Amino acid sequence: MLQTSYIRDNKALIIERLKKRNFEAETIISQIIELDDNRKKTQHELDALLAESNQLAKQIGDLFKSGKAAEANELKTKTTELKEQSNKLKEDQNLINDELLQLLYQVPNVPNDIVPAGKSDADNEIVFNEGEVPVLHDKAVPHWELAKQYDLIDFELGVKITGAGFPVYKGKGARLQRALISFFIDQAVENGYEEIIPPLMINEASGYGTGQLPDKEGQMYYMQADDLYMIPTAEVPITNLYRDVMLKESDLPIKNVGYTPCFRREAGSYGKDVRGLNRLHQFDKVEIVQIQHPDKSYETLDVMVNHVKNLLNKLELPYRVAKLCGGDLGFTSALTFDMEVYSAAQEKWLEVSSISNFETFQANRLKCRFKDAEGKTQLVHTLNGSALALPRILASLLENNQTPEGIKIPKALIPYTGFDMIN
C-alpha cells in the first residue's frame, strides 16, 4: 500500500508510472488526496475541541476550589456540548479513514523506472539465457506420460480423492519430489537463510498484510467456518512474522526460507496449458524471503536472482530470465524477474520462479519498520522469490532427462534421491 505522504509528494510520477500497468490512476489519486485533506481538517478541528475541553476542565477545577460552584456548573454544560461535538468528529474521522484505506487498497505498487511498458507476458523482456535446449530421442513424450509409464505420479487417483489439480506422487516420484525440497532448503541455508515452518492457514489480517487481500481473494481457498484462508505461498505467513514489528537497523537483513504446500483455486484456468503438472491447485514450493534496508533492496534482488540461477545451473536445466512488463507485474511488486525453464517434450518455456522487490508496499500494510542510526523510524523493504516451485521443475527434469533407457537424475540430486536413474 502506498503511503499518503508519498502520494502527495509524487502525484505526477505515480500517475505516469502506473500507466505502465495500464492503470489510469489520476481520478483515484485525486480522491485519495482530497480524502486525506478532509482527514487532516477533521483532525485539526478535533484537536482544537480537545484542547478547549482540557482548558475548560482546568477552569472548572479552579472555580470549584474558589467556591464558585454556579460558574463551574455553567462551564460543565459547555464541556458536555464539546464532548458531543468531539464524538461526532471522531465518527467522521473513522468514516474518512475507512474510505481512505479502501481507496489505497485499490492502487497497485508503483513500477520501478526500469520496468518495461506492456500489456501481457508477450511484452516481457528477456534479459538472460543459460544452457542448451536438449535434443530428445524420437520416442520422447511429455511428463504426464512419463509419470504414468514409470508410475511416478497418479493424476487420476488425485481426481478420485479430491479433484483435478491434486496429483498423488508415488515411489521414485515422491522421493524425487522430497529430494528437490531438501536440496532447495539446504542451498538456501548454506546461503544464510534461516529455515521456517509456518502455518498453512492465515487470517484476514495476514492476507491484507502482504497484499493477497483484497486483490487475490477469489483465487484463495477460504474456510468460512473459521474465517481462515489456505496459503497461496509461504511468502504470506513468513512475511507476516514481521507484521507490527519495530526492528533495529542492525537486525537487517532478515533472511528466511520455508517449504510449504501452496493452495490456489486457479479459477478460469483451462486448456492444454494446465495439463499434468503445468498448473495445479495444490503444489509444493520453497520460498526465500528477505526483510532489507531500503538502500540495499535492489542489490539484494540481484543476489536473490543469482541464487535461483545457481539452483537451475546445478539442476542442469536450460533457463532464461524475463523482466516483467507493467501489464504482467504483480499487484504488490515494484520489479519482478521470472525464471523460465525450457520443457523439451512440450517445446515451451515454463515459469518456475518469480523474484520480486515490493519496496515499502507490503511493509506499509504490515507496519514493519526499523529505527535507523539517527533514531528515525523507516519502513523496511520486503522481497521474496520462489527457490523453487516444484511442479514445473519436476516436469522439466523428467522431460529433458528422458532417454531410451530411462530418466537420468542430475548429479546434484543423487545424494538426495539415492538413485541416479528412473527406469
pLDDT exceeds cutoff 90 at 265 = yes
Alpha-carbon radius of gyration of the chain: 27
pLDDT on residue 79: 86
Note if the pTM is more than 0.75.
yes
Residue 324 lies in a domain: yes
Residue finishing a domain among 106, 136, 161:
106
Residue finishing a domain among 48, 74, 106:
106
CATH number of the CATH domain containing 267: 3.30.930.10
- State pLDDT tens for residues 396-418: 999 999 999 999 999 999 999 99
CB 282 within 8 A of CB 391: no
- Of the two residues 421 and 56, the one the predictor is more confident about is 421
Domain co-membership, 287 together with 414: yes
Average pLDDT of 214-219? 90
Domain co-membership, 127 together with 80: no
Domain co-membership, 69 together with 32: yes
- State pLDDT tens for residues 287-329: 999 999 999 999 999 999 999 999 999 999 999 999 999 999 9
Domain co-membership, 253 together with 362: yes
Please give the tally of structural domains in the chain: 2
Domain co-membership, 100 together with 230: no
Say whether 269 counts as a known binding-site residue: no
The 3-state secondary structure of the chain reads CCCHHHHHHCHHHHHHHHHHHCCCCHHHHHHHHHHHHHHHHHHHHHHHHHHHHHHHHHHHHHHHHCCCHHHHHHHHHHHHHHHHHHHHHHHHHHHHHHHHHHHHHHCCCCCCCCCCCCCCHHHCEEEEEECCCCCCCCCCCCHHHHHHHCCCEEHHHHHHHCCCCCCEECHHHHHHHHHHHHHHHHHHHHCCCEEECCCCEECHHHHHHHCCCCCCHHHCCEECCCCEEECCCCHHHHHHHHCCCEEEHHHCCEEEEEEEEEECCCCCCCCHHHCCCCCCCEEEEEEEEEEECHHHHHHHHHHHHHHHHHHHHHCCCCEEEEECCHHHCCCCCCEEEEEEEEECCCCEEEEEEEEEECCCHHHHHHCCEEECCCCCEEECEEEEEEEEEHHHHHHHHHHHCEECCEEECCHHHHHHHCCCEEC
Say whether 354 counts as a known binding-site residue: yes
Say whether 206 counts as a known binding-site residue: no
Helix 11-18 × helix 26-65 angle, to 10°: 140
Say whether 351 counts as a known binding-site residue: yes
pLDDT on residue 268: 57
CB 110 within 8 A of CB 334: yes
Domain co-membership, 261 together with 151: yes
- State pLDDT tens for residues 152-195: 999 999 999 999 999 999 999 999 999 999 999 999 999 999 99
CATH number of the CATH domain containing 35: 1.10.287.40
CA 301 to chain centre: 14
Q: Which three cell numbers stand for residue 170?
A: 508415488
pLDDT exceeds cutoff 80 at 130 = yes
Residue finishing a domain among 82, 106, 130:
106
Say whether 264 counts as a known binding-site residue: yes
Say whether 135 counts as a known binding-site residue: no
Domain co-membership, 125 together with 88: no
Average pLDDT of 245-251? 97
Residue 375 lies in a domain: yes
Average pLDDT of 212-240? 96
CB 111 within 8 A of CB 19: no
Say whether 403 counts as a known binding-site residue: no
How many other C-beta atoms are found inside a 10 Å radius of the C-beta of residue 271?
8
CB 239 within 8 A of CB 210: yes
The number of residues making up the chain comes to: 423
Residue 352 lies in a domain: yes
Residue 61 lies in a domain: yes
Residue 88 lies in a domain: yes
CB 2 within 8 A of CB 109: yes
Residue 99 lies in a domain: yes
Of 271, 283, 276, 272, nearest to 145 by C-alpha is 276
pLDDT on residue 269: 58
Domain co-membership, 153 together with 34: no
Say whether 353 counts as a known binding-site residue: yes
- State pLDDT tens for residues 327-356: 999 999 999 999 999 999 999 999 999 999
For the sheet containing 201-202, what is the strand order?
Answer: 201-202, 228-230, 222-223
Average model confidence (pLDDT) for the chain? 95
Domain co-membership, 387 together with 246: yes
Residue 329 lies in a domain: yes
Residue 304 lies in a domain: yes
Domain co-membership, 125 together with 24: no
Name the residue with cell 483532525. Answer: 43
Domain containing 26 equals 4-106
Domain co-membership, 228 together with 134: yes
Domain co-membership, 129 together with 102: no
